Structure 1
Amino acid sequence: MGGESNRSLSLLHESQNKINSSKDVFLEKCL
């Protein structure tokens, strides 16, 4: 059970990192 929650947390962080990196690229293109 603990391993599954850790996996979902890592996936959540991973998706958040992807969103943040795409935001940075988007801002760089706009500027």
Structure 2
Amino acid sequence: MVTILNIIFTISIMNLNPRLDNLGGHFILS
């Protein structure tokens, strides 16, 4: 289940650490 907080958190990580872009995408897909 993906919540709004998870999406915001993932986007924040992606913006702060581009290297974690793959991890962020994986979280959304999970």
TM-score where L is the length of structure 2: 0.48
Question: TM-score under structure 1 normalisation?
Answer: 0.47
- Structure with the higher helix share, 1 or 2: 1
Larger radius of gyration: 1
